[in-house]
Copies of this chain bind each other. A is one copy, B any other.
């Protein structure tokens, strides 16, 4: 380093000659990765642990490299949707079975209805991706076309649903495990939280690596289940119809077939539509051409899910699988067992199912932080959500999602049946608002094929609106009311946050391009001193170097103490720095200091006051409790005082002495 000559001493540039950490380039300095090099051993260990868990840091300009291909994108954004094929048929049949054979006969019609709705929703979302190539979640579409309130309602609905997706799918995966190993049952919540922690770490490593981790299981599930279904279809079509394996206890026939029962079955099955939003929300995560790639993934996802769902429903009813009242054996499990027997293949399918259920949570881990970052950029959520971490992931959102969903899992003791009624209502609210928003969009734009697009989205809006009502009514009592109650609160909070940021903005900003002239006044420095020791002299020395207007202040609890302190000051420091001694008979420190500052202020109003605090830095953090928290209390009290700043002058044991004692 050497010092360049400038006009003023303060103008002297730091010229970097041999530094690995900072490099001067054109008018500015670039920080290299070396700025992170830890200096202590503990620091190095922590840094290595961080790198091992979360990977090396990634600079911003490598963001393109973090984008995903179609193959990875499908695994990341579709695992939630595809995994629901593992239980959508069963949830539907569980409702219908109470009405006996007449009820179960409706399984295929309802499945076809849901797949049709899925087709409409996917087509609608293809329009979304086309209209919003920079990522068109329901929030963006609704707020741009229907106004901010609609956008916030959609955002709140989706945020709630993302959290629930994590809790439900992890609970589902843990249930699959505890079914196999009943002795692990008491540790259900702990296992679930462990899974959430693993998924969190994977996502903090960045979206691309998260995709690599999760791609295998998604394809593994699709292929293994598709194999079972192909064998089943072949046997059924060739007349070799498998004998159904019976569950431990079949659901008894106890209700007559009514409209409400059918609607409830439909609501339960429509869980298979959730997760569609994720792709449209995540367009920007795809490699170029992003919109096209996202559209392809959306179609492949819809086709995969639709095929699996139809085939499972068809085979289950054709073969005559019964629903297990005890929830020990799943319909998909019984179906697999009926078709391929209970050999190795059966266990492979069960394992794949358990894994994909846990990993379905991953869809939320890309959806939630992304939506939260968009909201934070628009100032509807705290701005921490908009910051990318070391690995370009939205770390704050990931961690918040992990904590909230783990808490929810713990509150519900890991029960799937307790959580599931809260689920899906949010997704359908968001669907409806987003489709309705797009109708407005096409009507306004009137680009090519606008009539067709508007018609598709209008159909989508009507259909998903009806589904929303059906789900809300049939699941209201079971828990959907909680979601409906929490959403207005969230919308209100987001509104307040926005209002707060806006107000602060208005008050803090200076007119753009305005020329500013600083009106600097020389501040008065006050140095509270409790006794004359090295820490105090260190602070006095700094104050003395900064200004000629320094007063030391001592507060004594009695007059004898005041007298002897004055004498000691005169002997040690002399008249170089004037001392003021206050006697505080009520043993208070803060109140007399504040009164003294008021007196100074009255003497010369508007002149800045700087309080210089000597702070002793203990060698270990746990020693901090042994030192008076006086400095902290002073800082807190002075923080709200107008026109008053505080200099913290830390004294470390072994700091060079900036005074001479003789």
Give A contacts to B, CB under 8 Å.
1-3, 6, 8-14, 16, 19, 21-22, 25, 27-31, 33-36, 57-61, 382-384, 387-390, 497, 500-501, 504, 507-511, 513-525, 532-535, 537, 540-542, 544-551, 555-559, 562-563, 566, 571-574, 576-578, 580-588, 591-592, 594-596, 598-600, 602-604, 606, 608, 610, 615-618, 623, 625-626, 628, 635, 639-640, 642-656, 658-662
Selected contact of A639 from candidates B497, B591, B617, CB within 8 Å: B617
What is the distance, in angstroms, from A10's C-beta to the closest C-beta of chain B? 4
Residue of B with least CB distance to A379:
B626
What is the distance, in angstroms, from A650's C-beta to the closest C-beta of chain B? 5
Q: Is the interface of A mostly helix, strand, loop or mixed?
A: mixed
- 27 example contacts (A-B, Cβ-Cβ < 8 A) are as follows A8-B548, A10-B525, A11-B551, A11-B578, A13-B578, A14-B600, A28-B581, A28-B583, A29-B583, A35-B588, A60-B586, A387-B587, A508-B533, A508-B534, A510-B533, A511-B661, A516-B572, A519-B659, A519-B660, A520-B542, A523-B542, A523-B546, A542-B610, A546-B546, A610-B647, A647-B647, A647-B648
Known contacts A574-B515, A662-B514; A586 and B616 CB within 8 A of each other:
no
Do the beta carbons of B10 and A599 come within 8 Å of each other? Answer: no
Selected contact of A29 from candidates B57, B557, B581, B587, CB within 8 Å: B581
Known contacts A388-B587, A497-B626, A507-B653; A549 and B582 CB within 8 A of each other:
no
Selected contact of A628 from candidates B383, B563, B616, B659, CB within 8 Å: B383
Which A-B residue pairs are the 10 nearest by beta carbons?
A: A59-B585, A520-B545, A31-B592, A520-B544, A35-B591, A514-B661, A28-B581, A10-B549, A21-B595, A508-B533
Known contacts A591-B36, A599-B14, A650-B639; A660 and B516 CB within 8 A of each other:
yes
Inter-chain contacts of A14 with B (CB < 8 A): 580, 596, 599-600, 603
Inter-chain contacts of A497 with B (CB < 8 A): 626
Do the beta carbons of A2 and B585 come within 8 Å of each other? Answer: no
Do the beta carbons of B507 and A599 come within 8 Å of each other? Answer: no
Inter-chain contacts of A556 with B (CB < 8 A): 28
Do the beta carbons of A572 and B36 come within 8 Å of each other? Answer: no
Do the beta carbons of A35 and B594 come within 8 Å of each other? Answer: yes
Do the beta carbons of A602 and B60 come within 8 Å of each other? Answer: no
Inter-chain contacts of A27 with B (CB < 8 A): 562-563, 566, 581
Do the beta carbons of A583 and B661 come within 8 Å of each other? Answer: no
Do the beta carbons of A582 and B547 come within 8 Å of each other? Answer: no
Known contacts A511-B661, A521-B658; A504 and B545 CB within 8 A of each other:
no
Do the beta carbons of B662 and A542 come within 8 Å of each other? Answer: no
Q: How far is the CA of A29 from the CA of B581 in the complex (A)?
A: 6
What is the distance, in angstroms, from A57's C-beta to the closest C-beta of chain B? 5
Selected contact of A384 from candidates B33, B534, B628, CB within 8 Å: B628
What is the distance, in angstroms, from A565's C-beta to the closest C-beta of chain B? 9
Do the beta carbons of B639 and A583 come within 8 Å of each other? Answer: no
What is the distance, in angstroms, from A55's C-beta to the closest C-beta of chain B? 13
Most buried by B among A58, A549, A587: A587
Selected contact of A566 from candidates B28, B60, B635, CB within 8 Å: B28
Do the beta carbons of A582 and B548 come within 8 Å of each other? Answer: no
Selected contact of A652 from candidates B587, B608, B642, CB within 8 Å: B642
Residue of B with least CB distance to A571:
B513
Do the beta carbons of B519 and A603 come within 8 Å of each other? Answer: no
Do the beta carbons of B513 and A572 come within 8 Å of each other? Answer: yes
Do the beta carbons of A546 and B653 come within 8 Å of each other? Answer: no
Q: How far is the CA of A27 from the CA of B591 in the complex (A)?
A: 20
Selected contact of A596 from candidates B22, B592, B599, B600, CB within 8 Å: B22
Inter-chain contacts of A585 with B (CB < 8 A): 30-31, 59-61
Residue of B with least CB distance to A559:
B28
Known contacts A28-B582, A545-B608; A507 and B534 CB within 8 A of each other:
yes
Selected contact of A9 from candidates B549, B587, B646, CB within 8 Å: B549
Do the beta carbons of B648 and A646 come within 8 Å of each other? Answer: yes
Do the beta carbons of B10 and A547 come within 8 Å of each other? Answer: yes
Do the beta carbons of A647 and B645 come within 8 Å of each other? Answer: yes
What is the distance, in angstroms, from A546's C-beta to the closest C-beta of chain B? 5
Do the beta carbons of A648 and B650 come within 8 Å of each other? Answer: no
Selected contact of A518 from candidates B534, B537, B591, B644, CB within 8 Å: B537
Do the beta carbons of B572 and A514 come within 8 Å of each other? Answer: yes
Do the beta carbons of A640 and B659 come within 8 Å of each other? Answer: no
Known contacts A578-B10, A658-B518, A659-B519; A595 and B31 CB within 8 A of each other:
yes
Do the beta carbons of B518 and A576 come within 8 Å of each other? Answer: yes
